[in-house]
Amino acid sequence: MRFLVIPAAVLLLAGASQGTRKGSPEDPLPANIVRLTHFGERASWSPDDQRIVFMEKSFGDVFEVDVATKATRLLTHFAHPGFLRAQFLPNGDYFLIGARTFTDIQTTRQRDQEMWILKADAKPGERPLAIDHKISEGVAISKRSMKIAWSNTRGQYPDILAQGESVIYTADIVFDGAQPRLANKQEIIRAKTPECTLEAQDFRRNDTELIYTGYRSPFADVFGINLATKAVTT
């Protein structure tokens, strides 16, 4: 089993846990850990487990590293206000989260983040395609289909969400020609602060269950929701 560890902006590939290490990431590494880059955060595996897409930093560029060769390449060869997340879709395309413009860190992060698709065969300088839907924080992506789950808050959609309210949706990414859009959008669960602010995390059990986080400052709880019955498990 392989794990990704990202201490001090260093992207590492590791095997089974060998216990806690002390010292700098620049110290000699155990044999079961391989340094892939000297920078990066929010790493995500490709469908074939051969590459990792990752963020340079928050509001930064998107990079990809080949696990075998350690060759790193820039994916966002164009002017942009900075991306926050990058993950692979099952078809090999990249799912990016970023805003069209930058106002300030808090406003841009909480109000203006959108979903984008960068095609797997995009040429340098080719821009991602907008899905035209906003998103709060991260996304859950199925490994079996083009199904995603995400959350929204009043920050993105003040006309449909009350103060302190958040909601998780699922939908399928489909293409009308080259243009991506969301289909089969379904509301999964709603919550309000201070009890919980929602964020989708991952699918499991053959996409029958969605793992999500309920943030309640200064803590967070992890739940699973059955997508058919809506039964929630802590």
In the prediction, which pLDDT does 28 show? 81
In the prediction, which pLDDT does 27 show? 74
Residue 188 lies in a domain: yes
pTM comes to 0.89
174-180 LR contacts (CB < 8 Å, sep 24+): 174/146, 178/129, 179/129, 180/117, 180/129, 180/131
Residues 6+ apart with CB under 8 A from 79: none
Residue 222 lies in a domain: yes
Residue 90 lies in a domain: no
Question: Average pLDDT of each block of 10 consecutive residues along the chain (234 residues)?
Answer: 47 59 71 92 97 97 98 97 98 98 97 98 96 98 97 97 98 96 98 96 98 95 98 97
In the prediction, which pLDDT does 209 show? 98
In the prediction, which pLDDT does 172 show? 98
The maximal CA–CA distance of the chain, rounded, in angstroms, is 54
Residue 190 lies in a domain: yes
Residue 193 lies in a domain: yes
Residue 184, domain extent: 137-234
In the prediction, which pLDDT does 30 show? 87
Number of domains composing the chain: 1
Residue 67 lies in a domain: no
In the prediction, which pLDDT does 6 show? 45
Residue 131 lies in a domain: no
Q: What φ, ψ does residue 18 adopt, rounded to 5°? A: -115, 20
Residue 191 lies in a domain: yes
In the prediction, which pLDDT does 14 show? 66
Q: Vertex 86, ends 81 and 88: CA angle to 5°?
A: 145
